[in-house]
Amino acid sequence: GQNIDQPTEMTATEGAIVQINCTYQTSGFNGLFWYQQHAGEAPTFLSYNVLDGLEEKGRFSSFLSRSKGYSYLLLKELQMKDSASYLCAVMDSNYQLIWGAGTKLIIKP
Amino acid sequence: GAVVSQHPSRVICKSGTSVKIECRSLDFQATTMFWYRQFPKQSLMLMATSNEGSKATYEQGVEKDKFLINHASLTLSTLTVTSAHPEDSSFYICSARTGGLEEQYFGPGTRLTVT
Q: Is the peptide bond between A43 and the residue preceding it cis, with omega within 30 degrees of 0?
A: no
Determine which of A97, A105, A106 to mutate to test the interface with B (most B C-beta atoms within 10 Å): A97
By residue count, chain A amounts to 109
DSSP-based three-state secondary structure for B82: coil
Q: Residue B49: which residues within 8 A CB-CB, separation 6 or more?
A: A96, B32, B33, B34, B35, B56, B57
Does an H or E element contain A42, and which? none
Going residue by residue through chain B, which has 115 residues, state the pLDDT in tens, using 9 for 90 and above.
Answer: 688 999 999 999 999 999 999 999 998 888 889 999 998 878 889 999 998 878 899 999 999 999 999 988 889 999 999 999 999 999 999 999 886 567 788 999 999 999 9
- Please give the Cα distance from A44 to A27 (Å, whole number): 25
- Please give the Cα distance from B80 to B67 (Å, whole number): 6
Per-residue model confidence (pLDDT) at position B51: 86
Average pLDDT estimate for A78-99:
92
Comparing CB atoms, the residue among A41, A45, A102 nearest residue B43 is A102
Distance from CA of B28 to the nearest CA of A (A): 17
